[in-house]
Structure 1
Amino acid sequence: MKRLIIDAHLDLAMNALEWNRDLALPLSEIRQRESNMTDRPDRGNGTVCLPALREGGVGLVVATQLARFRPNSYVPTAWNSPQQAWAMTQAQLAWYREMEALGEMMQINNLEGLEQHLALWADESDSYADKPIGYILSLEGADSLVNIDYLYRAHGYGLRALGLSHFGPGRYADGTKTSGRIHHEGLELMKVMGELNMILDVTHLTDEGFNQVLDTYEGPIWASHHNVRAVVPNQRQLTDDQIKRLVARGAVIGGMLDCWAMDIRFIDTVSDPWQLDIRLEHLVDHWDHICQLAGNARHIGIGSDLDGIFGTEQSPWDMDSIADLQKFEAILLRRGYSEEDTDNIFHGNWLRFLRRAWKR
């Protein structure tokens, strides 16, 4: 059987609802249905669906709810009021519940459920094709929480991880392509997150916000989908100091496969991954850098973001679908990583993090 993979960042429900993709279908059929559509750059180029996850041995994912508050903005994932944003996250939750009802997915929100799901996927009497995809629910950006009381409601239905910000200005914290400190409401939200022992995702925070989180948040912290600023020098990536601070906290950093986060030459909607020869191996360059800073391979994993408003037009050219994450096995072993390192990168590091976080 293939090595089990944990992918710490996928926007499944957003794709299902805002892109109107039936993710229970094979990828070939989803692409065929979109072949004549031009409303989004990734139409006909999608790389993620539930059958492809099973094909690739991706048995557990961190799956998002995502709805931003952007007044007078009419772009994907953006809404004109916090109440509209909350309603969209509830529609996304309903989609996950429908996938559970079909046996396609299974929500994981505690240590007991995690171990039961791992045992299911370790059972070789059934093929991966017969197993549900486990998902841990995460909220990417806190805009949709109308007020802090809504966090209790979200935790009650299984929300276990939360990032305060996304792209641009936010209600609780500003994010990628901005600067500035976490808002007062965000600091209050962090207190409730700590009370609930929720995982705080530092992805998309400003540099100032990152420092505030590392200085003040006492609960579990991870970086679900982040690459390295020393390799791709823009604010969306992690500095060496940030990486060292995350390592000291026992965090895991999920490597993402959006080409602009892998290679500084890539420009969205302009560049071509094949012409620039951007391959899966480019992500290992980022992992190598983190490992050199950490002194080991225990703080890296996969957080692919492969359905984050892009498809093959913005992914490594040697990857046709998310099932090709298995290609990292040969790449890592050839680059000098051990069998144990490879298992840790594929799933072991995320599992160690979750077991420690959920044992509290």
Structure 2
Amino acid sequence: MSKTFIFDAHLDLSMNAIEWNRDLSRPLDEIRQREMHLKDKPDRGKGTVCLPELRKGGIGLVVATQLSRFTPPGSSLPGWHSPQQAWAMTQGQLAWYKEMEAMGEMTQVKDLEGLEAHLDLWNDAAIPDETKPVGYILSLEGADSFVDISYLHKAYDYGLRAVGLSHFGPGRYAPGTKMEGPLTSAGIALLKEMEKLNLILDVTHLTDEGFYQAMDNYSGPVWASHCNTRKIVPTQRQLTDDQIKRLIERGAVIGGMLDCWAMDIRFIDTVSDPWQLNIKLENLVDHWDHICQIAGNSLHVGIGSDLDGIFGREQSPWDLNSIADLQKYEGILSRRGYTAADIDNLFHKNWLRFLRKAWA
């Protein structure tokens, strides 16, 4: 390969395709052009992710989400008014992934055999990257759409391999970001069922109390797909040093995210400007550095960019135009003293080692 292979552990591709009405099989300039006059969302015309840009950046494997929240009465958050509606939305998102597979744009990876076959394809220099399908591992961000625990088995059967119990606000299985409190009784029961299926638990978005409960009640594989450090950005959404240590003890990998407010405490959504605050790709390296210092090595960090996760260039590092710019980290990390082996760990090897162990 002409560029270093990248594994991105968190992208909301189907949400962008279905709810933002983006044809992600098309070039990025075309997607932006079609949104030029739309005003319904603050990131219109500012998207950074599409399948051609993933290929351009050598991002051949991603963790791609289904995302659909149930909103209880009294909540101001957008979402569906019943778990059944939320489930139906996840099925629409699943249908989009299947359409991308039918077009040869993507391929689902759900076991070790499929993982190795996909890596062999992307390592074949005789095949141009722009013709290769982007591999995806299916994850559910927030478990609200499981009407009951039997729906976990339905999802496993169609290839779901990772689950986060919560997202923002209240949740049927666990409260999430900007909340406090423990997992619900249904959440504890869901963890037990997930363990039987050897699903990956994503601790991203859990409350502090929920994080420790989940770590104590789940013995299966655990990762944090898109989290930064609370030492640098002291908000509940980020991981404390103690949480990082607990994750390292469990062999977890922590994916660094590129949402500006998660990189720099000065940034305020819909108010701040990344260029004026000089928030660059390099800001994330400070978070990776902190985790590496705690671990004593580079074996527990990776990329979980969350790009276009309900934001676009207006809330991304100013020196990033598209997700293909993740390749810039090779030079940035090298200048910061990371070795070629460290960079390989961060770009893909840590996630791949995690999956090979989890799926062995």
Scaled to the shorter chain, the TM-score interval is over 0.9
What is aligned with 2:29? 28
- Cα deviation for residue 216 of structure 1 reads 1.7
1 CA distance for matches of 2:76 and 2:181?
24
- Cα deviation for residue 14 of structure 1 reads 0.3
**SS state at 1:79 partner:** coil
Output one character per residue of 1:197-228: Cα deviation in whole Å (capped at 9) or x when no partner: 00000000000010011112100000000000
Q: How does 1:59-138 map to 2 (within 5 A)?
A: 59-71=60-72, 78-138=79-139
2 CA distance for matches of 1:296 and 1:77?
40
Output one character per residue of 1:133-192: Cα deviation in whole Å (capped at 9) or x when no partner: 000000000000000000000000000000000000000000000011100000000001
What is aligned with 2:227? 226
Q: How does 1:185-200 map to 2 (within 5 A)?
A: 185-200=186-201
1 CA distance for matches of 2:184 and 2:45?
39
Q: How does 1:1-360 map to 2 (within 5 A)?
A: 1-71=2-72, 78-359=79-360
2 CA distance for matches of 1:151 and 1:159?
9
- Cα deviation for residue 71 of structure 1 reads 3.6
**SS state at 1:95 partner:** helix
- Cα deviation for residue 245 of structure 1 reads 0.5
Output one character per residue of 1:226-268: Cα deviation in whole Å (capped at 9) or x when no partner: 0000000000000000000000100000000000000000000
Structure 1 unmatched runs, 5+: none
- Cα deviation for residue 7 of structure 1 reads 0.3
**SS state at 1:67 partner:** coil
* Alpha carbons 2:71, 2:77 under 8 Å: kept: no
Output one character per residue of 1:45-102: Cα deviation in whole Å (capped at 9) or x when no partner: 0000000000000000000000000045898861110000000000000000000000
CA RMSD, Structure 1 to Structure 2 (Å): 1.1
**SS state at 1:246 partner:** helix
**SS state at 2:324 partner:** helix
Output one character per residue of 1:3-41: Cα deviation in whole Å (capped at 9) or x when no partner: 000000000000000000000000000000001111000
2 CA distance for matches of 1:307 and 1:135?
16
**SS state at 1:78 partner:** coil
**SS state at 1:178 partner:** coil
* Alpha carbons 1:225, 1:255 under 8 Å: kept: yes
**SS state at 2:17 partner:** helix
1 CA distance for matches of 2:154 and 2:114?
20
2 CA distance for matches of 1:156 and 1:173?
23
2 CA distance for matches of 1:143 and 1:116?
33
- Cα deviation for residue 277 of structure 1 reads 0.1
* Alpha carbons 2:253, 2:301 under 8 Å: kept: yes
- Cα deviation for residue 307 of structure 1 reads 1.4
1 CA distance for matches of 2:35 and 2:132?
27
Taking a change above 3 Å as real, the CA distance of residues 13 and 74 of structure 1, as seen in their structure-2 partners, is farther
* Alpha carbons 1:194, 1:219 under 8 Å: kept: yes
2 CA distance for matches of 1:321 and 1:70?
32
- Cα deviation for residue 289 of structure 1 reads 0.2
* Alpha carbons 2:71, 2:78 under 8 Å: kept: no
* Alpha carbons 2:188, 2:217 under 8 Å: kept: no
* Alpha carbons 1:66, 1:77 under 8 Å: kept: no
Percentage of matched positions with identical amino acids: 71
* Alpha carbons 2:77, 2:169 under 8 Å: kept: no
The one-letter code sitting in structure 2 at the alignment partner of 1:130 is T
> What TM-score do you get using the length of structure 2 for normalisation?
0.99
Structure 2 unmatched runs, 5+: none
2 CA distance for matches of 1:127 and 1:4?
13
The one-letter code sitting in structure 1 at the alignment partner of 2:322 is S
